[in-house]
Structure 1
Amino acid sequence: MDVSFLMNSLWTMLGAILVVFMIGGFILLEAGSTRMKNAGHVASKTVFTFGLASLVFWAVGYAFIFGSNANFFVGMTDFFFSGEQIKDASLSTTVFFLFQLAFAGISVTVALGGFAERAKFSVYVIFTILFSALIYPVIAHWIWGGGWLAERGEQDFAGSTVVHLTGAMAALAATMLLKPRIGKFNKDGSANRITGHNQVYTALAVLILWVGWFGFNAGSTVSVDEAFFGFVAVNTNLAAAAGAVAATLISWVVLGKPDIPSILNGALAGLVAITAACAFVDVYASVIIGFIAGIVCFYSARFLEARRIDDPIFALSVHGVPGIWGTLSTGFFATPELAVVGKAGLFYGGGFEQLWVQTLGVVTCGAFAFFGSYIILYIMKKIMGTLRVTQEEEIMGLDLSEHGSFGYPEHMKRREQEVWSEVDEKLHRN
């Protein structure tokens, strides 16, 4: 068997493992960013929805993205993926399938961040199935599966648009329909800060995601040829570093102290932004892209909160806005030597052509993800009556109300009576 085939397969398998392990990062990130009474719920639903998304991807998602006989929206072959090796492929088809499955699972996880601390568990189940079958594969096909944006030279190497913007727009639809958490906003529109229960969890989560991103971006080379994955990894690391530094500095200037959530979100924003550009831009550009991402992440969080959009996991600020910037950035910084897809950016003599293609991709994919998700959730709301748990259930916490147990049983059991007293008090006050 060809050595390059084996090496490409091994490298891509390692990338797939790293991306799947990012789910562990998201578990800690979401659990740490939410309150203790919801920690077990957040962790378990993340594992469950990744599993459910995996089955949907096997049944229809892979076929819609990479199947042949494609129409305008999706491919139409390879349903219920059989594992059959594609002839003359440069790596194992099953490894490639697993790698792409991991990306689909990450996008679902990002989307579900917009549901945090107030959605019914059944809503996660239904939306995961429909998003994994009808939203994510369509956009992935347009850009990665040979669809109409691919034909126009859309540059999105590892998914700033396909994975992150798509998930973030779904999260926006969810936050709009679910409405803010109890106690987030006052009657005059001012916001109360609902802090997560464990910032050490969130910091560790960022480190796990940072490492996993080497599989996400460098693994997307799906090849060991010329060790180009090392160049992609360097760009990825520098963008994350620049995002963390930028967010630290801007929060220090604006708030008077370096804000811990802003620092962590800045690193993630840098990673999200460089995901589209990591294979198309020079090393210095990755620093600029990451630095700008850290700043826009900080300000977008403040902007959204001022408009009474309650985004507990910062899905929009971390994955949405930086995803837009990262996708657009190749329209400025893509070099003629690296632009094997599309054309060089504005700063390298390519004019506005690539920037226009990137803008078209952001607008169409973002709109499809948002309106598609909004329609799905709106129909679900009409059929189910509500997407949201009751006030009593939200106040007592989703660990208890949705699962009948606590993520921190020894601590929370002692407070169970206090929780019920809090429910009575808040309901009476409202």
Structure 2
Amino acid sequence: MDNILTTNNVWMMICTGLVFFMHLGFAFLEIGLTRKKNAINILFKNVFIITCGLLLYALVGFNLMYPGEFNGFLGFSGFGLDAPLQGGALDLSYNQGYTYWTDFLFQGMFAATAATIVSGAVAERMKLLPFMIFTILYVGLVYPIAGSWKWGGGFLDDFGFYDFAGSTLVHSVGGWAAIIAVALLGSRIGKFKPDGTPGAIPGHNIPLAMAGVIILWLGWFGFNGGSVLSADPGLTSLVLVTTCLAAAAGGVFASILSTLLYKNMDLTMFLNGILGGLVGITAGADVMSPMDAIAIGAIAGTIVVLGVALIDKLKLDDPVGAIAVHLICGMWGTLAVGIFGDLAGWSQFIAQVSGIAVYAVFCSTSAFLIIYGLKATVGIRVSAREEIDGLDTHEHGMDAYEEGLESYADLSVEHSR
């Protein structure tokens, strides 16, 4: 028993480290797909999200999300962490798969991800302080309450809703907040032409964005692999295979479709297709066959391309494609549990639709109340001058890159002309 517990717990701690590493991937992806004058601002937000998120999860979030016996809708088992002890030593009977501390830390790494999704969607024009307030409220209260309804043994769990690792509970929870924030915030200056057609605002470092996606893919080994909640060799291996195959299919199909539609091989679409495949498989990675995973990923990759076009058509400005990747593919992955794999069937499909609807109403309403409240009081958008100059200068008083490097890059561009 002790050997099994040790093996399971070590695997869970490794997965915790991989999920933590994903935050670097998110940071690289966001700064790579945006302009260099806002890089410090994006990095600051990402550091704030993970640090503040962990503290909030320790103070209130963990015990909101896993309150023990509760009415299925709202429960709270007290402030702070209170590990079970036996004679002053940690009680290892807490769980056969991992200790209390590992449970907290693994789940805490998930908690901050919802706000990170919003960070990318509102990049380059949202005030820092309102974003920080939003993060505190959304990560501290909204995410754990929503999570308790399924992972905490709440009413959606009783209803049969299934979400293995968070297509809805993490990605769509962040995605609903992202689309509300983008709608209330408005588009960046220059994103849409006077006739309403979208203009391109290229990111300043696509290789960095590429590195971010590869880091995220690696981190998903922990995100999905750790959600097995043990080192079970058969199930863990299957989850890693389905995760990787869905990612590969998502990238390939997004690349093919974007090339057919736009007549160029767009690397950013390829990268977002990979992420779409990862988000799509996350709800059912443990109940899918490899062929199911390829189909789910392929559809997710197609959805990403069409989703980005839809967001532009709605005149919503999402600099990194977070809404298409996390919200739309999150919904698709959740629905896919009722279509593919071991749980497929009408009753499961209805349960999945019901879960999506519940989270859509709760998360979008909560996000609207928080962000609209901030907009009506302290304001959420920087001034036109601040946006044009860059948030790094006005919000942080520093630049991400040395002036010499910027000058050299500018001269290289001029020379190439």
TM-score when scaled to structure 2? Answer: 0.93
2-side partners of 1:39 and 1:412: how far apart? 15
The answer to whether the aligner puts 1:119 opposite 2:126 as a matched pair is yes
Listed as ranges, the matches of 1:22-61 within 5 Å are 22-61=22-61
2-side partners of 1:172 and 1:363: how far apart? 15
Offset from partner CA, 1:314-335 (integer Å, 9 cap, x none): 1111111110000000101131
Determine the structure 1 residue equivalent to 2:158: 151
2-side partners of 1:23 and 1:110: how far apart? 10
The answer to whether the aligner puts 1:203 opposite 2:196 as a matched pair is no
2-side partners of 1:204 and 1:414: how far apart? 24
Structure 2 unaligned regions, length at least 5: 85-89, 409-417
The answer to whether the aligner puts 1:165 opposite 2:172 as a matched pair is yes
1-side partners of 2:120 and 2:240: how far apart? 27
SS in structure 2 of the partner of residue 76 of structure 1: coil
Q: Is the 8 A contact 1:33 1:313 kept in 2?
A: yes
Q: How many residues align?
A: 401
Determine the structure 1 residue equivalent to 2:360: 366
Coordinate RMSD, CA, aligned: 1.5
Determine the structure 2 residue equivalent to 1:186: 193
Offset from partner CA, 1:201-227 (integer Å, 9 cap, x none): 111111000000000001111112344
2-side partners of 1:179 and 1:412: how far apart? 32
SS in structure 1 of the partner of residue 315 of structure 2: coil
The answer to whether the aligner puts 1:63 opposite 2:69 as a matched pair is no
2-side partners of 1:107 and 1:175: how far apart? 15
SS in structure 2 of the partner of residue 333 of structure 1: coil
Listed as ranges, the matches of 1:244-283 within 5 Å are 244-283=251-290
SS in structure 2 of the partner of residue 143 of structure 1: coil
The Cα of 1:411 is off from its aligned counterpart by: 4.5
Q: Is the 8 A contact 1:277 1:327 kept in 2?
A: yes
**Kindly tell me: are residues 394 and 292 of structure 1, through their superposed partners in 2, closer, same or farther at Cα, counting changes over 3 Å?**
same
Q: Is the 8 A contact 1:54 1:105 kept in 2?
A: yes
Determine the structure 2 residue equivalent to 1:419: none
Aligned-partner residue type, residue 366 of structure 2: G
Higher mean displacement: 255-264 or 71-80: 71-80
Q: Is the 8 A contact 2:94 2:100 kept in 1?
A: no
The Cα of 1:409 is off from its aligned counterpart by: 2.9
Determine the structure 1 residue equivalent to 2:21: 21
Determine the structure 2 residue equivalent to 1:408: 401
Offset from partner CA, 1:47-99 (integer Å, 9 cap, x none): 11211111111111101110124234332104211344564411111001100
The Cα of 1:115 is off from its aligned counterpart by: 1.8
Determine the structure 1 residue equivalent to 2:389: 396
2-side partners of 1:132 and 1:109: how far apart? 10
2-side partners of 1:300 and 1:224: how far apart? 36
The Cα of 1:107 is off from its aligned counterpart by: 1.6
Aligned-partner residue type, residue 381 of structure 2: R
**1:292 equivalent among 288, 293, 299:** 299
**2:348 equivalent among 345, 351, 354:** 354
**1:378 equivalent among 363, 372, 389:** 372
Determine the structure 1 residue equivalent to 2:183: 176
SS in structure 2 of the partner of residue 154 of structure 1: coil
Offset from partner CA, 1:281-316 (integer Å, 9 cap, x none): 111100000000000010010011011000112111
1-side partners of 2:56 and 2:392: how far apart? 26
TM-score when scaled to structure 1? Answer: 0.91
Q: Is the 8 A contact 1:50 1:108 kept in 2?
A: no
The answer to whether the aligner puts 1:89 opposite 2:95 as a matched pair is yes
Percentage of identical aligned residues = 39
Listed as ranges, the matches of 1:418-429 within 5 Å are none
